[in-house]
Copies of this chain bind each other. A is one copy, B any other.
Amino acid sequence: MKLATLKNGSRDGHLVVVSRDNSWALDASPVALTLQQALENWASAEPRLRLLADELNAGRAVGAFSFDATLAMAPLPRAYQWCDGSAFLSHGTLMQKAFNLKAHEGAELTPLMYQGAGDDFLGGREDIALPTEAQGIDFEGEFGVVVDEVPMGCSAEQALQHIKLIVQINDVSLRALAPREMVSGFGFLQAKPSSSFAPLAITPDELADAWRGGRVQLPLQVHWNGQWFGHPHGGEMNFHFGQLIAHAALTRRLRAGTVIGSGTVSNSDRSVGSACIAERRAIEMIEQGSAQTAFMRFGDQVHMEVLGADGQSLFGGIDQRVVQAKV
């Protein structure tokens, strides 16, 4: 099942079911007005949403209308919690090597994770408005999951059962602001402006065999200004999503609608490229002695896509420009 949230002038938008081929949409308001509402009542909402999806996919849905990704907000336009891991260790290893940083003790045992801001997510076709290019504007291609209620102390295996939806994320980052925030010990805040989400939140069964071991076993295709940038594979996550959820839930329950991110998709095979500029720059520093690639300029465009076995876009893709904020 594929779900999306359409703009309707409200902060939380309007929930729709989307057909498997991303062409058609159907109002989901008889089941839930918003995705947050559906997640809070998932056990009863899910089967009813699936009935709508079945009608839509069979071409029998009354009231179906053409799905327009440019009218989509983030599936959850705002979330009460957004925690982003760094589950692909090859990314951290490259950054450490390039910047001559000390390796994190126990990095293979305990995932890195930061608490992000969930109050203002962007849709996958919306411009990313930022104050200045000087802050080192970067994209970060990620996978994410949305959970229902997760109890405190949940195990990694149990946590997998709480994954209700899978999403695709551009975790926009401001690299010039990150070092001060990392050294402070308080973590990212200004360095992590609003994150963006591809239009479709999908149930794990939509991935079929590509949802395995708590990981999205597919490459993430990244293009920057129309040029290939990378296609790292989601299967190389060193911590699976169940482990990330359990990490977040060690000392508190997670309320329904919490979003958990994988961190930048990154592979040990450098020939597959990267899902963020910072990592390409790190590779350049290691291989050529200095970074060659500059960060994003206003007007730049980033495209991120995940294709299923049938060549169909699974999440509806991310295609965004960076623009100067009107302040």
| Residues of chain A at the chain B interface (Cβ within 8 Å) | 11, 40, 78-81, 83, 86, 104-106, 110, 112-120, 129-131, 135, 151-153, 174, 177, 180-194, 247-248, 250-255, 257-258, 325, 327
Contact = CB atoms under 8 A, between A and B. Distances in A.
A182 B180 contact: no
Instruction: List the number of copies, as a whole number.
Output: 2
Contact of A131 (B114, B120, B251): B251
Contacts of A83: 117, 189
A81 B186 contact: no
A183 B180 contact: no
A188 B189 contact: no
Given A180-B110, A251-B130, A188 B115 contact: yes
A78 B257 CA distance: 12
B152 A255 contact: no
Given A117-B81, A119-B81, A120-B253, A86 B186 contact: yes
Given A177-B251, A251-B174, A255-B120, A113 B325 contact: no
A189 B314 CA distance: 31
Contacts of A153: 131, 325, 327
Nearest to A154: B327
A112 B184 contact: yes
A44 to B, nearest CB: 16
Contact of A112 (B177, B186, B247): B186
B118 A80 contact: yes
A98 B250 CA distance: 28
6 contacts: A11-B40, A81-B119, A112-B184, A119-B254, A129-B152, A193-B251
A90 to B, nearest CB: 17
A264 to B, nearest CB: 13
Given A40-B11, A129-B152, A251-B130, A258 B119 contact: yes
Contact of A327 (B129, B135, B151, B180): B151
A186 B188 contact: yes
B190 A188 contact: no
Given A80-B80, A120-B252, A120-B255, A189 B151 contact: no
A280 to B, nearest CB: 20
B250 A190 contact: yes
8 closest A-B pairs by beta carbon, nearest first, are: A187-B187, A182-B185, A80-B119, A153-B327, A81-B119, A119-B255, A114-B186, A193-B252
